[in-house]
Amino acid sequence: MLDTIITIALIILALPVSMFVLECLLGLFNTPAAKEVQLPDNLKNTLLMPAHNEAEIIAHTLENLKKHIGINDTLVVIADNCQDNTADIVRQHGFIALERHHETERGKGYALAYGMDYLHQQDQQPDIVTIVDADCLLDANALHLLKQNVHQRGRPVQACYLMKSGSVNRIAVKVSEFAFMVKNKIRLRGLSRLGMPVPLTGTGMAFPWDAIASAKLATGDIVEDMRLGVELAENGMGATYCDEALVYSYFPSSEKAEQTQRERWEHGHLSTLKQFAPRLFKRAITKPSIEALGMMMDLIIPPLSLLVMIIAAAWLLISVFSLMSNNWIYFSTINIYLMSLLVTVFLTWLLYGRSILSAKEMLHIPIYIFSKIAIYIGYIVRKQTKWIRTDRN
Instruction: Say yes or no to pLDDT of 392 above 70.
Output: no
Q: Are 70 and 100 in contact (CB under 8 A)?
A: no
- In angstroms, what is the C-alpha Rg of the chain? 22
- Write down the pLDDT at residue 116: 96
Going by pLDDT thresholds of 50, 70 and 90, the confidence category of residue 391 is: low
Instruction: Give the pLDDT mean for 29-37.
Output: 75
Tens digit of pLDDT for each residue in 234-254?
888 999 999 999 999 998 777
- Write down the pLDDT at residue 194: 92
Give pTM, 2 decimals.
0.88
Cα–Cα distance, 232 to 248 (Å, whole number):
24
Distances (CA, A) of 18 to 181, 281, 322, 333, 356: 19, 17, 23, 12, 26
| Amino acid (1-letter code) at residue 21 | V
Going by pLDDT thresholds of 50, 70 and 90, the confidence category of residue 34 is: low
Of the two residues 33 and 235, the one the predictor is more confident about is: 235
Instruction: Say yes or no to pLDDT of 384 above 70.
Output: no
Range with the largest mean pLDDT of 31-45, 65-79, 227-241, 255-269: 65-79
* Nearest of 157, 155, 156 to residue 142 by alpha carbon: 157
Q: Are 184 and 238 in contact (CB under 8 A)?
A: no
Instruction: Say yes or no to pLDDT of 388 above 60.
Output: no
Helices assigned H by DSSP within 85-223: 86-92, 108-120, 142-153, 171-181, 187-193, 209-212
- Write down the pLDDT at residue 282: 81
Instruction: Say yes or no to pLDDT of 389 above 90.
Output: no
Tens digit of pLDDT for each residue in 104-146?
888 888 999 999 999 999 999 999 999 999 999 999 899 999 9
Mean of per-residue pLDDT scores for the chain = 88
Instruction: Say yes or no to pLDDT of 336 above 90.
Output: yes
- Write down the pLDDT at residue 76: 97
CATH 3.40.50.9100 fits 43-135, yes or no: no
Cα–Cα distance, 54 to 108 (Å, whole number):
13
- Write down the pLDDT at residue 288: 75
- Write down the pLDDT at residue 263: 77
- Write down the pLDDT at residue 221: 63
* Beta strand extents in 30-156 (DSSP E only): 45-51, 73-80, 96-100, 128-131, 137-138
Q: Are 226 and 272 in contact (CB under 8 A)?
A: yes
Under 8 Å CB-to-CB from 45, ≥6 apart: which residues? 72, 73, 74, 126, 127, 128, 129, 130, 143, 147, 206
